[in-house]
Structure formats: structure tokens, C-alpha cells
A and B are shown apart, each in its own frame.
Chain A
Amino acid sequence: DVKVTQSSRYLVKRTGEKVFLECVQDMDHENMFWYRQDPGLGLRLIYFSYDVKMKEKGDIPEGYSVSREKKERFSLILESASTNQTSMYLCASSLFRGANEKLFFGSGTQLSVL
């Protein structure tokens, strides 16, 4: 079975800190995604990538950047964390562009920015 691993389950950071959220998948998937989940808002797409060194903006990219140097790893970066970025962050992966198959999700990182 596909495994999507997020490096931290809980994270507490200070306002203004640079924050890295790491995600690794083990099934050679081409597509990777970062979502944030907030109560009453569901999941919203931040960034996604179809291949190494490729990135595309999602619906709410402001305040975030991403890095995909290796196929299996997709990092989300908060350049200067703010309190409104306190949220649950979910990483996901899927086969390849055009497959229209399901996304596999990690267990999420609950980030608190104080």
C-alpha cells in the first residue's frame, strides 16, 4: 500500500520563524499536493507538483512556497510564520497527470503558530 509520511504530527512555532513541513511518499507517484484543513472550511489546496522541480499554485498560495528536489519528497515552506497559518496541513500524492485516480494522504501536521 502507498505510504505518505509527514515528518511531524504536531509542531509549535513562533511568529516570524521559517517553517519547513516535509512529506515523503514511497510509491513513485508523480503528483504531490499540499492542503490545509480548517474547521468549517474543509481542505484547501496550497500548492501542487506534477514532477521534480515543478510547482503550481493552488487556491491559497500566499505566504507559502514549496520545494520538490526529489520525486518522493515535497516540502512546504512558511517563509515567515504568522498566527493565521495555524492549521492542519495535509500532504497527498497520486499516480500521474491524467490518471484521475484517488489521492493518498499523510496523517497531517497540526501546526500552531504562537
Chain B
Amino acid sequence: AQTVTQSQPEMSVQEAETVTLSCTYDTSENNYYLFWYKQPPSRQMILVIRQEAYKQQNATENRFSVNFQKAAKSFSLKISDSQLGDTAMYFCAFMANFGNEKLTFGTGTRLTIIP
């Protein structure tokens, strides 16, 4: 079974600064997908970024980028130039590539951007 660990329950950062959220996972699979989801106070889960394990290049989406270290089973999210709208719960999630489409989530990191 896969497990996902987020060791930072809460973080806060000043607006415009850069922040990194940590995620580690455990799996015996070689092919899989990793995701970061954002859940703002509205409760709507929104995909932030997706990484395919067979791709060595780290995924980026505007101000969001990941540091994917496959050997270390680490998948951290970097938010650059943080904005007030980035305040949310962030969840790291794992999907194995054997067709069951299930996401296994970490426990989340509550991020607060301070004006």
C-alpha cells in the first residue's frame, strides 16, 4: 500500500515571499503520478500541479513548481511570489499507474499568506 506524508501541518509566509511545502511518499511501484491539490476556504479542491514519475523534468505551472526526487521519494511544492489568494490547505496525493485511478492523500498543510 502507498502512503503519503506531509510533515508540516501549518505554515505561514509574508506576501510576495517564496514558500516550499514538503511531501514524501512510500511505494514499491515504478510508474505513478503525483499531484498537489489546493483547498481554499470555499472547500473546492483545485489541482495545482501534476507530475508523471517517468518524467525527469520537474513540472511547473506559473508561480508553482515542484522538486521531484524519485530516488528519495520526495515531491515538494514551491510557491513563488506568494499571494493572499494562495491561503489554503494543500494536499499532496499519489496515484499508482496500474489503472485503479485512486488518489492517496497526505494529511495536508495549512498555508497562510500574511499581508
Instruction: Name A residues whose Cβ lies closer than 8 Å to a Cβ of B.
Output: 31, 33, 35, 40-45, 48, 50, 58, 88, 90, 92, 94, 97-100, 102-103, 105, 107-108
Distance from A111 Cβ to chain B, minimum over Cβ atoms (Å): 13
Tell whether, in the assembled complex, residue B45 and residue A97 are in contact, meaning their CB atoms are under 8 Å apart. no
**B14-22, B59-67, B69-77, B100-108: which lies at the A interface?**
B100-108
A100 to B34, CA, bound (A): 10
Closest B residue to A103 by beta carbon equals B103
Tell whether, in the assembled complex, residue B102 and residue A48 are in contact, meaning their CB atoms are under 8 Å apart. yes
Distance from B109 Cβ to chain A, minimum over Cβ atoms (Å): 10
Distance from A76 Cβ to chain B, minimum over Cβ atoms (Å): 16
Q: Which residues of A contact B107 (CB under 8 A)?
A: 40-42
Distance from A110 Cβ to chain B, minimum over Cβ atoms (Å): 8
Tell whether, in the assembled complex, residue B101 and residue A108 are in contact, meaning their CB atoms are under 8 Å apart. no
Instruction: Name B residues whose Cβ lies closer than 8 Å to a Cβ of A.
Output: 4, 6, 9, 33, 35, 42-45, 47, 50, 91, 95, 97, 99-108
A40's partner among B9, B42, B91, B103 (CB-CB below 8 A) is B9
B101's partner among A44, A100, A105 (CB-CB below 8 A) is A100
**Contacts A88-B43, A107-B43 given: A42-B108 contact, CB under 8 Å?**
yes
Tell whether, in the assembled complex, residue A42 and residue B106 are in contact, meaning their CB atoms are under 8 Å apart. yes
Q: Which residues of A contact B105 (CB under 8 A)?
A: 35, 42-44
Closest B residue to A94 by beta carbon equals B101
Closest A residue to B108 by beta carbon equals A42
A107 to B39, CA, bound (A): 10
A97's partner among B43, B44, B47, B99 (CB-CB below 8 A) is B99
Q: Which residues of A contact B42 (CB under 8 A)?
A: 107
**Contacts A42-B91, A102-B47, A107-B42 given: A58-B99 contact, CB under 8 Å?**
no
23 contacts between A and B (CB under 8 A): A33-B103, A40-B9, A42-B91, A42-B107, A42-B108, A43-B91, A43-B103, A44-B105, A45-B102, A45-B103, A45-B104, A48-B102, A50-B101, A99-B101, A100-B33, A100-B97, A100-B101, A102-B47, A103-B45, A105-B44, A105-B45, A107-B43, A108-B43
